[in-house]
Amino acid sequence: MKRQVRTDKTPAPSGSYSQAIVSGGVVYTAGQGPFRPGSDEPVGEDVAAQTRQTLENLAAVLEAAGSSMEAVVKTTVFLHDLGEFAEFDAVYAEYFPDPKPARSTIGCDLGFFKVEIEAVAAVTS
């Protein structure tokens, strides 16, 4: 059995997908980006500002699913420019306590924004 997660604290899905799905005590999030609800423009122009907003969105989706950043076991990160990895990673490290989740980082064309992050986490409440 699976349950769809929806929160107004993050942008609504822009296509045929859920913000997250909970199944078997695990949360699977869709990729979150650097947008505020109701805005089509990314927050900030640098990867640090966009990473911060992306992680705030991820935290809001996890909270709505009954989880948290502390319960994340795996992330997949999509970076527009892998040359900005160090700036991205400095912000990312602030949001996850030790032990950090397992992570894959993929360079890809995200168009007009710099970062997208999806996560897998345990349900904690």
Which comes out higher in pLDDT, residue 71 or 125?
71
Percent of the chain whose predicted confidence (pLDDT) is above 90: 93
Place of tokens 């107004």: 8
> What is the tens place of the pLDDT at every residue in 26-47?
999 999 999 999 898 999 999 9
Every domain of the chain and the residues it spans: 2-122
Pairing of strands 102-107, 115-122: unpaired
What is residue 81's predicted lDDT score, i.e. its pLDDT?
97
pLDDT at 1: 86
| Whole-prediction pTM | 0.96
CA–CA gap between residue 110 and residue 33 (Å, rounded): 10
Query: pLDDT, tens digit, for every residue of 40-70?
Result: 899 999 999 999 999 999 999 999 999 999 9
> In CATH terms, is domain 2-122 a member of 3.30.1330.40?
yes
Model confidence band, residue 14 (pLDDT cutoffs 50, 70, 90): confident
